[in-house]
Structure 1
C-alpha cells in the first residue's frame, strides 16, 4: 500500500475527525472510502463520455424521428 500526504483545509480536517469519532472509524478509513467513491464515479463518467464520443465519431446518432418521439413523450407528460 502506498503512503500519501496531503494538506486539508482546517474545516475539512475537523469534519473528518468528528465523523471518525462518531462512526468509530479511522480518519484514514473515511478518507480512503470517500476517495474510492469519487474515483469510481469520475472513472465511470469519463468512460461514458469516451464511449459517447466514439459513437458520435462513428455517426451513431438518434434519428430525427427518435428524437421527436422522446420529446413528445416528455412534453405530453408535463401537461
Structure 2
C-alpha cells in the first residue's frame, strides 16, 4: 500500500453535505473524493501555470503577433464567415 498523509480542511456545511452526497452516490469514501478533487485541481493548476509560462517565454523570445496582424486576421475570419452565410 502506498504511503499517504492525513490533512485537514475546513468546509462550509453546505459543501460538506454535497461532498457526502457525492461520495454516497459513487460508493466511495469522503476521503477518496477529496483526494481525487485535490489531485484534479493540482494537475489542472500546474498545466495552466505551464501554459502561462510558455506564453511568457515565447514573449521573452520576441515571438509576438502585432496588433495590426491580429486585426487583419480577425477581419479576414469575419469576412470569411459572412461569405459562408
Q: Indicate the structure (1 or 2) with the bigger Cα radius of gyration.
A: 2
Q: Which consecutive unaligned segments of at least 5 residues does structure 1 have?
A: none
Distance change (3 Å), C-alpha of 1:73 and 1:32: farther
> TM-score, normalization: structure 2?
0.77
Asked if 1:8 is matched to 2:5, the reply is no
Larger relative CO (CA 8 A, sep 6+): 1 or 2? 1
Selected match of 2:31 from 24, 28, 32: 28
Q: Which ranges of 4 or more aligned residues in structure 1 deviate by more than 6 Å? A: none
Q: Deviations over 1:5-46 (max 9, x none)?
A: 111110111111111111101111111111111111111110
Q: Which consecutive unaligned segments of at least 5 residues does structure 2 have?
A: none
User: 2: distance between equivalents of 1:30 and 1:70?
Assistant: 45
RMSD: 1.9
Partner in structure 1 of residue 22 of structure 2: 19
